[in-house]
Amino acid sequence: MSFKISKEVKIVSWSTAILWFGWGFGESLIPVFLYQFAGSYAETGLLKSAFDITALLVTPIIGYYADKISIKKMMLVGTGLYFLIALNYYLAGVFACVSFIVFARILNGFSWPLTCVSRESYICKYTPRNKMARAFGYFDTLGILAWVLAVCLSLFLVSKFAIHQLLFLIAPAAVISFAVALFLPKGNKLKKIKSLKFNLKPYKEVIKEVLRWPLKLRTVVLSSFLISFVSGAFFFFIPIEVWKDNSDLKQIIILAIFYSLPEASGNLLGWVIDKIKINKSLVISFIGICAVFILSVFFDSFLWRLSALILVGIFVEAISLSRRQLIADFNIKNNFLVFKTHYSFGGISAVLDEITNMGGFIGIILVGIIIDSGSWSTALILMSAVLVFVFWLFVRNNIVNKDNLTL
């Protein structure tokens, strides 16, 4: 019997694709836009982190109340906020006022988890359990294609419009996306709630859970933080380095197009990892990233930086897939990931998903300070040292088999 994507999943997917289409026109230029206001790498990192810190704080709270608030309202509120985000980016460009950027980043920190939680809730509710992969694949494919199309179109628009004008194209996309989302059903039965107050329970539970994990599992989680620390800074600052060299925004957009390739190749990478096994995958990936970082100290052409972005993206995706397999193995063998407190599962899982993001924005700030006080080359060498430390942890705790380190 053939499986058909439900009407609800199609509505969510098209609403999201329209929104991502609007984002695609200017999102790749945000690092440069922030740098133009900040003037230093560290301050650029701080502006960028306004989104990450807000999302980190509100995501577990949204997860905690997810079964007590209408997911349709969450979807509509989250989508509607994107109009205000676009407006603030536009006003920042018109009045050259950094306060509007800060406000836009903070609003984005609210809108992103609201829309993410509501989208996933709809897909899970209106899709048979054994068809989830296909439903999420439909959602991801539609959204990515819309985003890439907008990015490609921005190659022709960037010479005629300023960055803040391209970012304002999020506004009409948000309005249309909101209108599409109005056709969604309510989606969930609501539980009674006494008050919508800030609750520390999700944070306390995740700390207890992590402390309960064995050393190997904690090492994998720490590696997620540190690898994101390094790769997040690399991916964020490469466009700024390219722009400082020649002020060509089209090259930044080209970087963004190719940056999306490694994530899109996840299925192929997963097949390769299954063939060569996790041990070799991790060894190759760690050596590969370190080699790219060291070579980037000596080569700074656009072609090399484009190649470096793709290579690091592939290696990071391979490490990410390997980590997921390791965590799944730990879960199957030891049952360490079973949450005993079902009432806070949404909040706990949401916080766990943010561990990698936390490493990313902290890395951008600290690496930005290193670049400001030293140089991009110094930062690359220190980031390589962090990767060597992570690899040492993997070997020391027998995650990578120390008796089989040959390729």
Residues 223 and 357 in one domain: yes
Residues 147 and 255 in one domain: no
- The predicted structure's pLDDT at residue 189: 52
The reply to whether 58 falls in a domain is: yes
Which residues, other chains included, contact 298 with Cβ-Cβ below 8 Å and sequence gap of 6+? none
The reply to whether 194 falls in a domain is: no
Range scoring the smallest mean pLDDT among 64-68, 131-135, 377-381: 64-68
DSSP 3-state assignment of 221? helix
Share of the chain above pLDDT 90, in %: 44
The predicted model scores a pTM of 0.82
Residues 214 and 179 in one domain: no
Range scoring the smallest mean pLDDT among 66-70, 229-233, 274-278, 351-355: 351-355
Instruction: Please report, in angstroms and rounded to a whole number, the separation of the first and last CA atoms in the chain.
Output: 45
- The predicted structure's pLDDT at residue 94: 95
Residues 38 and 161 in one domain: yes
Mean pLDDT on 339-351: 39
The reply to whether 104 falls in a domain is: yes
Domain that holds residue 393: 199-407
Mean pLDDT on 284-313: 92
The per-residue pLDDT for range 148-185, each reduced to its tens digit, is 899 999 999 999 999 999 999 999 999 999 999 999 88
The reply to whether 114 falls in a domain is: yes
In the block, which residue shows the tokens 């400082």? 244
- The predicted structure's pLDDT at residue 340: 40
- The predicted structure's pLDDT at residue 349: 42
Q: Which of 143, 167, 187 is the last residue of a domain?
A: 187
Range scoring the smallest mean pLDDT among 28-37, 172-181, 199-208, 381-390: 199-208
Q: CA-CA distance, 230 to 221, in Å (whole number)?
A: 15
Q: Which of 153, 187, 221 is the last residue of a domain?
A: 187
Mean pLDDT on 244-255: 89
Q: Which of 165, 187, 209 is the last residue of a domain?
A: 187
Residues 181 and 45 in one domain: yes
Query: pLDDT-based confidence at 380, cuts 50/70/90?
Result: very high
Residues 128 and 274 in one domain: no
Query: pLDDT-based confidence at 193, cuts 50/70/90?
Result: very low
Query: What integer best gives the mean pLDDT of the chain?
Result: 81
The reply to whether 285 falls in a domain is: yes
Residues 19 and 85 in one domain: yes
The per-residue pLDDT for range 349-365, each reduced to its tens digit, is 444 566 777 888 899 99
Element (H, E) at 11: helix 7-24
Residues 34 and 160 in one domain: yes
CATH code at position 96: 1.20.1250.20
Residues 116 and 217 in one domain: no
Residues 211 and 174 in one domain: no
Better pLDDT: 200 or 404: 200
Query: pLDDT-based confidence at 345, cuts 50/70/90?
Result: very low
- Output the six-digit token pair for 305: 């930086």
Query: pLDDT-based confidence at 19, cuts 50/70/90?
Result: very high
- The predicted structure's pLDDT at residue 343: 33
Share of the chain above pLDDT 70, in %: 78
Residues 234 and 182 in one domain: no
Better pLDDT: 23 or 352: 23
Mean pLDDT on 289-318: 91
Whether the predicted pLDDT of 50 surpasses 80: yes
**Is the Cα dihedral 389, 291, 356, 32 positive or negative?**
positive
Range scoring the smallest mean pLDDT among 33-37, 191-195, 323-327: 191-195
Range scoring the smallest mean pLDDT among 30-39, 195-204, 254-263: 195-204
Residues 274 and 382 in one domain: yes
Range scoring the smallest mean pLDDT among 21-35, 281-295, 333-347, 381-395: 333-347
The reply to whether 203 falls in a domain is: yes
Residue 185 one-letter amino acid: P
- Output the six-digit token pair for 22: 């609007």
The reply to whether 192 falls in a domain is: no
Whether the predicted pLDDT of 369 surpasses 50: yes
The per-residue pLDDT for range 100-139, each reduced to its tens digit, is 999 999 999 999 988 988 887 788 778 776 677 677 778 8
Number of CB atoms found within 10 A of residue 401's CB: 15
Mean pLDDT on 187-203: 54
| Backbone φ/ψ region at 135: left (φ over 0), alpha (ψ -120 to 50), beta | alpha
Number of structural domains in the chain? 2
Better pLDDT: 288 or 130: 288
In the block, which residue shows the tokens 């989302």? 181
- Nearest of 398, 268, 405 to residue 330 by alpha carbon: 398
The reply to whether 17 falls in a domain is: yes
- Nearest of 80, 81, 76, 85 to residue 122 by alpha carbon: 76
- The predicted structure's pLDDT at residue 354: 65
- The predicted structure's pLDDT at residue 32: 94
